[in-house]
Structure 1
Amino acid sequence: MSTGATTTVEIDTTLFITVSGPPGCGATTLCERLADAMGCPYVSGGEVFREIAEDRDMSLNQLTAKADENDEIDRAIDQRLQQIAEKWGMANKPFILESRLAGWLAGERADLRIWLDAPEDVRLARIEERVETEAEMRVREVSEAGRYQSYYDIDIDDREFYDLNINTARWGKEGVFNLVRTALEEYDPDVDEGAFSTPNLNP
């Protein structure tokens, strides 16, 4: 679990939010800021994946290749994230779940599902200082998309059911945060006519 840096901004909400998107989309930055403003924790699927890689003394690329061999690693991560979603979906407390599949795994339990993205050249520039290389990022994206299609028969690029779909290259970090902040503060369950439905996944 992670929380963000100290800030004076506060968001009074009990919403359970999912944040998804490809590497370099700005999900971690947004989640840290939101977690601090909402006074809540968040769980990242990427952190879980990296922890498994460290535990097995493997690089992200090596673990991705291992995950390609069978579904054990992916399903273990997804089951854990789905259990977390089930817990917080009934808690009536603010919470943030972040992963490529967070919106799918949380399903109807989530109050607000967000997809972040940016043009590939922008995302590549953002990950220049990460341990993961450009080649590894490309391999991971293609590999994950194929596995999600194989395991769950879903298209990870299907964004129809997301409540917010933001190109983070068009706004700065503060701008993206304020877009989401406005959505949270303006949300009124009494006028909510319904979210798009999502199929249930069975990791």
Structure 2
Amino acid sequence: MTETTTVRLLIIGPPGAGKGTQASRIAERFGVPAISTGDIFRANITGGTELGTQVQAIIERGELVPDELTNRIVADRLAQADAARGFLLDGYPRNVEQVHALDGMLEGDALDAVVLLEADVDEVVARLLKRAELEGRADDTEDVIRHRQQVYAEQTAPLIDLFSERGILVRVDGLGSVDEVAARIADGLEARLGAAVEVE
């Protein structure tokens, strides 16, 4: 990508599909910030902020943070200088209402591509249970994980049709090694954006 190119990307997929890992690689490749609402929320929880306290109670119930709160946080982040040349969103928008809110923030500068990581639910649940054991994540019980998968199916999956209709959806098999998935993403983005995307 050239210095003057602006690229606005989104990565979506079920919780545990490996979005965070791939997001950092994509963002580095394009020289744009990876903006993860999950990271923003966790930083506030760790910092003991008022927002963090609110968010922690919501997350521990396996629920999603309310749209109004999430929209404000994302709008503030996109207004920062490092996002002027583009960004990669991870974890937002999660539903159709948030898509419309994002459309308003971008003021006609639509997303260039949406990477959809597809993964089998049982594979994802097993992956998240293993991560919970390794990292000691108290919120990652099997019941909560499966509830999150159901919430994703109900609220976020409709975005797949919406972005497909807009002609910007890039479907990628999310199962396999990190490098294998990264290569598939690079191929998909190259086809969508019409520009060479290097795989490191």
Higher share in helix: 2
C-alpha contact (below 8 Å) 1:18/1:113 kept by paired residues: yes
Partner of 1:165: 171
SS in 1 for 2:131: coil
Instruction: Output the CA distance in 2 between the equivalents of 1:111 and 1:72.
Output: 26
Over the matched positions of the two proteins, sequence identity in percent amounts to 21
Alignment of structure 1 residues 44-55 onto 2, 5 Å = 44-54=36-46, 55=48
Change (3 A) 1:58 1:137: farther
Partner of 2:189: 184
Change (3 A) 1:59 1:172: farther
Change (3 A) 1:116 1:59: farther
SS in 2 for 1:178: helix
Structure 1 residue 61: Cα displacement: 6.9
| Aligned pairs, number | 166
Partner of 2:198: none
> Where do 5+ consecutive residues of structure 2 fail to align?
104-108, 196-200
Instruction: Output the CA distance in 1 between the equivalents of 2:127 and 2:62.
Output: 25
Partner of 1:174: 179
Alignment of structure 1 residues 106-121 onto 2, 5 Å = 106-107=102-103, 109-121=110-122
Structure 1 residue 32: Cα displacement: 1.4
Partner of 2:8: 16
Instruction: Output the CA distance in 1 between the equivalents of 2:110 and 2:61.
Output: 31
Partner of 1:134: 142
C-alpha contact (below 8 Å) 2:45/2:56 kept by paired residues: no
Per-residue displacement from partner, 1:37-77 (whole Å, max 9, x unpaired)? 22222110111232344426769773236796xx9854212
Partner of 1:123: 124
Aligned residue type for 2:177: G
Alignment of structure 1 residues 63-82 onto 2, 5 Å = 63-64=58-59, 73-82=66-75
> Where do 5+ consecutive residues of structure 1 fail to align?
1-10, 147-154, 190-203
Task: Give the aligned CA root-mean-square deviation in angstroms.
Answer: 3.6
SS in 1 for 2:116: strand
Instruction: Output the CA distance in 2 between the equivalents of 1:106 and 1:21.
Output: 18
